[in-house]
Amino acid sequence: MALQPLLLHLAFLRLGTTGPLVQGRGFRSQTVAWPSFFDFNWPQEVQETIQIPNNGSAPLLVDVQVFVSNVFNVDILRYTLSSMLLLRLSWLDSRLAWNTSVHPQHAVTLPWDSLWTPGLTIQEALWVDWQDQSPRARVDPDGHVILYLALTTETNCDFELLHFPRDQSDCNLSFYALSNTVLELEFRARAVNEIVSVKREYVVRDLKTQVPPQQLVPCFQVTLRLQNTALKAVIALLVPGEALLLADMCGGLLPLRATERIAYKVTLLLGYLVFHSSLVQALPSSSSCNPLLIYYFTVLLLLLSVSTMETVLLAALPAGGNLSPAPRGEQQDRGDPGPHPAEAPRVKGSRRSWAEAADHIFFLVYVVGVVCSQFFFIGFWMWATCKSDPAPGKAIPHGGQPRL
């Protein structure tokens, strides 16, 4: 009968169960399974919900460690990413303490729904999937509780894509305990980067946690800093665009009267139009701070169009001056003797030489303009900044998160 005081104490605490720990898919209530030395036939008391442990005038302090083991499926078109996390929650519940001199057990493990646990909700989550459907908490003799939760989640992220594909963004995971107030519960959080795989397009460069101030409900926030490695985008987007622009400049070296030049220019323009249409679908769009590459490839399209139109117009000038002369009899009837036969080749040659000179000048100006535009874009890329518009939930007077 030495265990009777402890059993009475735990029998009162085991009354009732809490709801799910975190909102998500696949988390359901579990049957209470107490350790073997707690198995006894005891009269059932009135069922009531287990309350948060009382910490006097101060809120209960829950220490949280967030282990980030993987970040994958970064989708900039949907503004989402998936991550695998392990949460270590620990707090003190003096109601679960026992005397080790009487009961020498060093620790016991209890189901999560047999004692009070903080109910967490991830604000940015689209879904949450738990790896362990029935987690168990470790209870030390002094009432110190430790609970591990492993989860995979897909969350929204406001990617900053102005400098795509060398973009860097901060993605937040905000954990809220909606069933408690800041007067009852307080979080102290820290994060640990345990990502061992670097075979990703986006890599995690930094990881930090914070507790936002002046909130109505207890919360803590995990911030992932993601950086794009840019290799895929450079090979798939920048290299083909620069190759087409270089090929267009080389096409200016062909003779103006060569029939292959117009066909060459038109083929390049049509090919770039196909590339540009697929490019628009591959690049993300936003209400503010769109990627600079969208404007860059639009400028390339204008340059190719101007180069093609210049070739067509200047090539048509000599042909327009070579009009078929009217019959000699009609010229005499009209009293117009017409040009001397020896002057016709000279007029035609002068028009051709004028068109070729204009084409040569345009080619030099075009090359200089293309080179200058590349340097201008590089400088603009390095120094340009953009501040996104505030979210409706943070903009005043449209709304805002509840604060004290």
Q: What is the pLDDT of residues 276-298, one digit of tens each?
A: 888 888 888 777 888 998 899 99
3-state secondary structure at position 306: helix
How much is the average pLDDT of 149-159?
A: 96
The verdict on residue 255 lying in a domain is yes
Give the type of residue at 59: P
Rounded to whole angstroms, the Cα distance separating 148 from 266 reads 64
| Contact of 129 with 99, CB cutoff 8 Å | no
Q: What is the pLDDT of residues 325-334, one digit of tens each?
A: 444 444 444 4
Residue whose structure tokens are 């729904």: 113
The listed range with the strongest mean pLDDT (60-64, 72-76, 240-244, 309-313) is 60-64
Q: Which domain holds residue 100?
A: 60-228
| Contact of 130 with 149, CB cutoff 8 Å | yes
Give the list of residues 6+ apart from residue 250 with CB closer than 8 angstroms, or none: none
Mean pLDDT (the chain) is 80
3-state secondary structure at position 184: coil
Residues 371 and 249 grouped into a single domain: yes
3-state secondary structure at position 111: strand
- Largest separation between any pair of C-alpha atoms in the chain: 140
Rounded to whole angstroms, the Cα distance separating 124 from 184 reads 24
DSSP β-bridge partners for residue 89 = 64, 147
Task: Please tell me the pTM assigned to this model.
Answer: 0.74
Residues 99 and 245 grouped into a single domain: no
CB atoms < 10 A from the CB of 374, how many? 13
Query: Could you tell me how many residues make up the chain?
Result: 404
CA distances from 14 to 60, 322, 371, 383 (A): 20, 103, 76, 61
Residues 218 and 251 grouped into a single domain: no
Residues 215 and 124 grouped into a single domain: yes
Structure tokens at 8: 């009475």
User: Domain of 134: which CATH number?
Assistant: 2.70.170.10
Whether a cis peptide bond, with omega within 30° of 0, leads into 35 is: no
The verdict on residue 333 lying in a domain is no
How much is the average pLDDT of 313-321?
A: 69
Residues 126 and 248 grouped into a single domain: no
Q: What secondary structure does DSSP assign to 51-113, as a single string?
A: PPPP-TTSPEEEEEEEEEEEEEEEETTTTEEEEEEEEEEEEE-GGG---TTTS----EEEEGG
Residues 144 and 249 grouped into a single domain: no
Count of domains observed in the chain: 2
Structure tokens at 294: 């969208």
Give the type of residue at 159: F
How much is the average pLDDT of 3-21?
A: 41
Residues 376 and 236 grouped into a single domain: yes
User: Domain of 379: which CATH number?
Assistant: 1.20.58.390
CB atoms < 10 A from the CB of 40, how many? 10
